[in-house]
Each structure stands twice: as C-alpha cells, then as structure tokens.
Structure 1
C-alpha cells in the first residue's frame, strides 16, 4: 500500500498524460520516418543507395542523447542543495530557479531525442532491411537491437522525463513529484544519499 502511495506522490504535477503524448508523438515521427525512408530507398535503382535512410540516422544521435542526459543530471545535482536551502536563503532562489529551469530543458530535450530514437529502433525491429540494419548499427553503437534493449531505453528515457518534470514546473516554477519527496527526507539521511549518488555519478562520467 505504501509503495502505491509513493508511486502516486512521485508523479509530477504536469501528470503522466503529457509525457505519454510527447513520447507517442516523437516516437511516431521516428517510426514513420524510418519506414518511409526505407521504402523510398528500396525504389532506388542502385542497390547500395540509402539516401533517405541516411537522413533518418543523421536526425538523431545516441551520443548526443547521452550528452543531453548527462548535462541534465549535472544541473539536477547542482539544483537539489540550492532548492533545499532556498526557503531559508531567499537570495539563492533566483540561481536555484535558473538551474532547475536549465535542468528541466535538457531533460525534456533528451526525452524528445530519445523518443525519436526509440521510434527508429522500433522501425528497424519491425521492418528490418540490410540498409537500415547497417546504418542503425553505425548510429546507435550496438547491433542486434532487440525488444529488451528498446524497453530498457524506454525506461531510461521515461526516467529522464520524470526528473525533468519533477525538478521544475512551468506553471508555478517550483518542484513536484519525485523531487518533492526528496525534499521531505530529513537532512541527516538526504545528505549522505545525495553525496553518494552524486559521487558515483561523477566518477562514472569522468572515467567512462
């Protein structure tokens, strides 16, 4: 019962419907674009021609998605301490709001980019051709992309959306959901938890 309550409280104020709509829009664009590109390239006279499939792969990048997520996480890590102490120190509220807005922006752009990428991978899974498989392998840095890999990407991508919408709400410019839950944790527990996760995250980023 408590787990259900925590899950409900971790949902951002914007609600799940907005995130789902955005995901379906961008993944639909990626899926449709990849399938249409593959169909058009199959009509080419030259067997190795892959002009439109190349265009689809140029539109999205796995490394760029990671970069956006990393920047969002770094800004998120900087925002949490400021957000925690901002009620007691009004002078830092402006900086706190700016960092949270930037973190929100990078997370949501990463979510859009990730949704587009997932759509392309789904197209590759549903309608595999030699051209598309080769280019997808080159673009996404892994081959034989299966359903479980795509589901894993969907989970990570959804978590980025959750962090972004939780750290900043466009209506009241404050936090909600998961971040709101974190702020209610006593400082003696929150500080070690924050330092541990931030330290591990920085180590993984520097020594990737």
Structure 2
C-alpha cells in the first residue's frame, strides 16, 4: 500500500468536504469577529476602550482547548480496545457505542474551538488592528503570534477532527477512516502499537 492509498483510507466517512467547510466556518467566525470588534471599538469615545476586542481575546481559550482535546484522547484510548473486543463479543457494542459518541463530542467541540482560535490568530497576524493584539499571558504558543504557530495549531486541530470523525459518524453511527484501518491491523502489531501510543499520550498528558 503506497502513501496515497493509505491517506485515502484513513479519511473518515464524513469526507474532506466536511472538514474544509467546518474549518472555514469557525475560522471565518473568528476572523470576522475580530474585524467587527476592532471596528466597533474604534468608534468608542475613549481611546483605551476595547470592550469588544477584550471579548475576542477571551474567546482564545487555549487551555480549555487543550482540556477538551485531552478528554477526547483519553476517551479514544479507552474506546479503541473496546471496539476491537466488540468485534468478537458483539454484546460489548452496548457499552462501546456511547463511548464512541462521547469521544466524538469532545473532539468535535475541541476542533470547533480550535478553528475559532485560528481565525482570531489570523486576524491578529494580519494586523487588523493594534487593539486586536492577543494577551501575552494566554499561552507560550501565542505570546509571539506568527505564521508557524498558527500552522502548527492548524495541523494539531486537524488531527483532532480526524480522530473524532473516525471513531464516530453522526449520520451512520459507525466508525470509519483511521479507526477502520486500525481494526484491520493484525493483533500482533495492533496490541504493541496501541500500548506504545497510549503510553506516550498518557505521559504527555501527565507531564503537560
């Protein structure tokens, strides 16, 4: 299997169209919101008034985004072996399906929040206004907003979408994409790979 075939197989059933549409929607909300906030604050009588811009700054919930992603990853790590077991013990599906849906919800909300932050960060990077500068204490990642941190956030956020849409599709109620590929891997490779990956994720979470 070449790289092209592999990349096509890991794409969730919802498709890249859903990914692009959702990303553009939330990033657009952040970008337009920052522009409107700047415009409204520019009309304020007091030069230092930045009520709406502060509201935009408050929307950059980097720590909350991390929390949502961490919960999603933990649920994903717990659910993945249960999905495999449910292939051999169908009764487990009664417990697995709600867990898949819950993991999907956290990934979905994290992805939306990430898209919103990316839009706001893009507005800041494009220098829509000096007032739109994000607070330096939000995070080390955003203390000096540049294109590379924005691209890094975009890649990480895209991975959250991939995991969420792969483990649960809200229309078919089934898993697809990456999870389907993993379920087809022989257990002699899947088990050590899962243990190694889950251990790494847990270590990174605990080390923060």
* Fold conserved between structures, TM > 0.5: yes
Q: How does 1:1-208 map to 2 (within 5 A)?
A: 2-133=2-133, 135-141=134-140, 142-208=142-208
User: Residues 34-53 of structure 1, C-alpha deviation per residue, up to 9 Å, x if partnerless?
Assistant: 01111221222222211001
User: Residues 116-169 of structure 1, C-alpha deviation per residue, up to 9 Å, x if partnerless?
Assistant: 000000000112543321x34343443221111111111111110011000011
TM-score, with length taken from structure 1? 0.94
Q: Distance in 2 between matches of 1:138 and 1:29?
A: 23
Aligned in 2, Cα 1:188/1:86: closer, same or farther, shift over 3 Å?
A: same
Q: Distance in 2 between matches of 1:124 and 1:136?
A: 11
Q: Distance in 2 between matches of 1:20 and 1:179?
A: 21
Q: Distance in 2 between matches of 1:32 and 1:138?
A: 23
**Is the Cα contact below 8 Å between 1:61 and 1:140 reproduced in 2?**
no
Provide the aligned C-alpha RMSD in A.
Answer: 1.4
TM-score, with length taken from structure 2? 0.94
Give unmatched runs, 5+ long, in structure 2: none
**Is the Cα contact below 8 Å between 1:121 and 1:136 reproduced in 2?**
no
Q: How many residue pairs get matched? A: 207
Moved more, 190-199 or 165-174: 165-174
Q: Distance in 2 between matches of 1:22 and 1:129?
A: 26
Task: State the Cα distance separating 1:112 from its structure 2 match.
Answer: 0.4
**Is the Cα contact below 8 Å between 1:30 and 1:117 reproduced in 2?**
yes
Q: Distance in 1 between matches of 2:172 and 2:18?
A: 17
User: Residues 39-96 of structure 1, C-alpha deviation per residue, up to 9 Å, x if partnerless?
Assistant: 2212222222110011112234000000000000000001100000102112211111
Indicate the SS of the match to 1:87.
helix
Runs of 4+ in 1 over 3 A off after TM superposition: 138-141
